[in-house]
Amino acid sequence: MFDVDWMGLLTREVLRERGAALIAESCAWAVGMSDQPHHERRAGRLVATGLTVGERAAHGRPLAGEEDGRLELGDARPGTFQDALNMVDAQGRVQAERFDDEVLVPFVRDTCLVAAERARATRPADWAELADDLGESPRDALDVVRAVGWEAPLRIDAEHLVLAALGGVPLIEVEAEGLPLSLVRAAEAVTRTAAVPEPVPVPDDSLAGALFLARAALEGSGCTVPVRPEEADLLLAALGDNGLEPDEVSAVLPHLPVEEATITRIEATLAQR
């Protein structure tokens, strides 16, 4: 098999370059945790302690209980970001799991795609050889990333980076640092919601089935709405995974909340196949 280590090294290089952005996103994600009611598990039962997370931290009491959490996070000082990651929420879910799903996984996926685009531009022959060895098209960066599995080890690297920078920092300080970006993210979400165009009526009943599949694919893709050009490969992969043929993709794109530049990029990719 073709040696893919050069690409693994590139993903880690891109992660280091994006380290500041990852720390900023982590801080923004933490905003509001101090105001949440604190819960812990006692004798297997999830109970509210009667304090907020911030109040408990201010009293110098640990946020995470002994019955939950990850072992590698268990040596945290009370009230720190690492301690907060190891506590449970109102549903009994460890916050570190939510952090994985909402921050680390999408950030690592985007980092791998950035690295893939760089490889495709700067080392086209090596990239094409890698894709061919994996049985994937060199034009489908997301498929190549999925086939190799760079995301899993890179997620561990990303977690270590976050913990090294923020693990021992008091949660309240992490939240204060993340507040400006948190407000920006909230404003972006409102703007995207307001900017979603009304669905264009389907002119042909024969397109209804394909459009149903396309909307389901979009909902499960993790793309922002409306879909931006940098997420074109992600959306195209989701549409393909849901069984849409290239001609169906072209037909349904105008009826989805997708930016015009994104449609242009997807059409260009389809034309090269």
> What radius of gyration, in Å, describes the C-alpha atoms of the chain?
22
Q: What is the pLDDT of residues 148-189, one digit of tens each?
A: 888 889 999 999 999 999 999 999 999 999 999 888 878 877
Query: Are 37 and 90 within 8 A, CB to CB?
Result: yes
Per the DSSP assignment, residues forming a β-bridge with 37 are: 52
> Average pLDDT of 32-50?
91
> Average pLDDT of 55-61?
92
Contacts of 125 (CB under 8 A, 6+ apart): none
- What CA–CA distance (Å, rounded) separates 130 from 8? 12
- What CA–CA distance (Å, rounded) separates 87 from 266? 42
